[in-house]
Structure 1
Amino acid sequence: MTATTLSKIGEADLAWIAAERAMHAADVADDPLVLASAARSGTHALLATGRFEDALELGNAAAKYLEPRMREGDASALSLYGMLHLRAAVAAARHRERATANELLGKAEEAANSLGRDANYWHTGFGPRNVRLHQLSASLDLGDISDVIDHGPRVDTDGLPIERQVTHLIDLARALSLLAKDDQALQVLLSAEQKSPSLLRHSATTREVLRTMYRRAPVKKSSLLLALAQRCRAVNEN
């Protein structure tokens, strides 16, 4: 299981151990693509543990190794470069560094435009639509909730990796919940569960959103909300 996957299912400590080992192996291999891929996993692990400044530093440092290959128009380098900047942008947004986040998102968008399509080189799922999803995710972390609610449902995620689709739906549900639009948020989470029960149920963000919704729900027993909250281990009521 990769570091990225481990971080997605809540195993942050194991994710960082896996990422460290991958980066060490990549350093020995002396291949910028391998190193960038390992560093990308490392940013996932660092974000999962709240080490936003470290994630930002790692993403920026690894991206520099790819610049010579990018100038040659290498699609793999463009994809990894773009994803590293997207992960660094998320770190900056969570650290409330709006200008830095916007700058990094802009670099990722340039890489996506150069690539010219949604692709999956090195399992990145990188392309214009993935950039758009990260722009919305950063907007949410920066407090621009209405932007996510207004534009999030319009993004066509068909064909993107399931993990990216589910993460986007969780972001959208979180935004709806922040405005107390709980019925809509619940429907979005149920849609995410249909795409990947395991990704949804292991998401710490999902559990946080469900707990908030459950606390203010007027009717809790035998409800769709309670059932989903129990499946996600957000509440323990029988």
Structure 2
Amino acid sequence: MEAASADDPAYRRTCAALSARIHHLTATTLSKIGEADLSWIAAERAMQAADEADDPLVLASAARSGTHALLAVGRFEDALELGEAAAKWLVPRMAAGDPAALSLYGMLYLRTAVAAARHQDRATSNDLLAHATRAGEQLGVDANYWHTGFGPANVELHRLSAALDLGDVTQVIEQAPKVDVEHLPAERQVTYLIDYARALSLMAKDDEALQTLLSAEQKSPAIVRHSTVVREVVRSMYRRAPATAGRKSSALLALPERCGAVR
């Protein structure tokens, strides 16, 4: 790539954009399976390549992976700062009516809203969710520009996730079944089901939580079995089983084993 770029700047930017997208996908995948440090390395490389690509959409997409990685390592304030800065890069493209820019803008605000919620900053989280809500309303549909899956339904899923991080467990249990997710990408459906199962588990509704996780596993076995959140949930249910049921069901024995939560 370096040899070609010396002769053709446009080709160099194209290759840099491709590198940024690949490292973005790598970073988000690594963060979901608990490899926080590796996720940050991949996100840094995505952002370095995006700088060379000199495209606001590429830059914003790479920054989105950066927010994932920063959240994974607990750097909530840095995730907020990066997400808000990247959202501003997209304003000119949004003004031109680019739905991809609007989708990335909305997703950046959703990620930063979750960052604020995990930092227990309810006011900031609500403000950022309001920005994302307006973007979702402006887009009008649940689309998948730049693999964002952004739209009104995805906003509601992040609202539930933020509420869960803020401790509003009862609200999540009441509202989650009302959100239609069947038209969203499988990854978003599974993340929603994991959040719902986590809320159910926190209220010791373990039978419902188990069935929810089994439904998620049917949609994407890899995401469920490599999720650190799922491991924590099933480990808690597994430990509670003797006190609540007197015995462990075969399903409750099998799922923790598949997830590597128990030995």
Scaled by the length of structure 2, what TM-score is found? 0.87
What amino acid does structure 2 have at the position aligned with 1:225?
L
Q: Encode CA deviations 1:31-70: one digit per residue, 9 max, x unaligned.
A: 1110000000111111111111111111111111111111
Cα deviation 1:16-41 (Å, max 9, x = unaligned): 11111110111112211100000001
Shift of 1:2: 2.0
Partner SS, residue 2 of structure 1: helix
Which of 126, 146, 155 is residue 102 of structure 1 equivalent to? 126
Q: Which residue of 1 aligns with 2:258?
A: 231
Instruction: Give the counterpart letter for 1:235 in structure 2.
Output: V
CA RMSD of aligned residues (A): 1.1
Compare 150-159 and 176-185 and name the one that shifted more.
150-159
Name which of structure 1's ranges 101-110 and 69-78 shifts more when overlaid on structure 2.
69-78
Sequence identity, in percent? Answer: 74
The correspondence for 2:55, drawn from 1, 24, 31, is 31
Structure 1 residue runs of 5 or longer lacking an equivalent are: none
The CA deviation at 1:9 is 2.0
Aligned residue among 159, 162, 167 for 1:135: 159
Output aligned runs, 1:4-83, within 5 Å: 4-83=28-107
Scaled by the length of structure 1, the TM-score of the pair is 0.96
Structure 2 unmatched runs, 5+: 1-24
Which is richer in helix? 2
| Number of equivalenced pairs | 236
* Partner SS for 2:97: coil
Aligned to 2:241, the other structure's residue is in SS state coil
Greater Cα offset, 2-11 or 104-113: 2-11
**Counterpart of 1:92?**
116
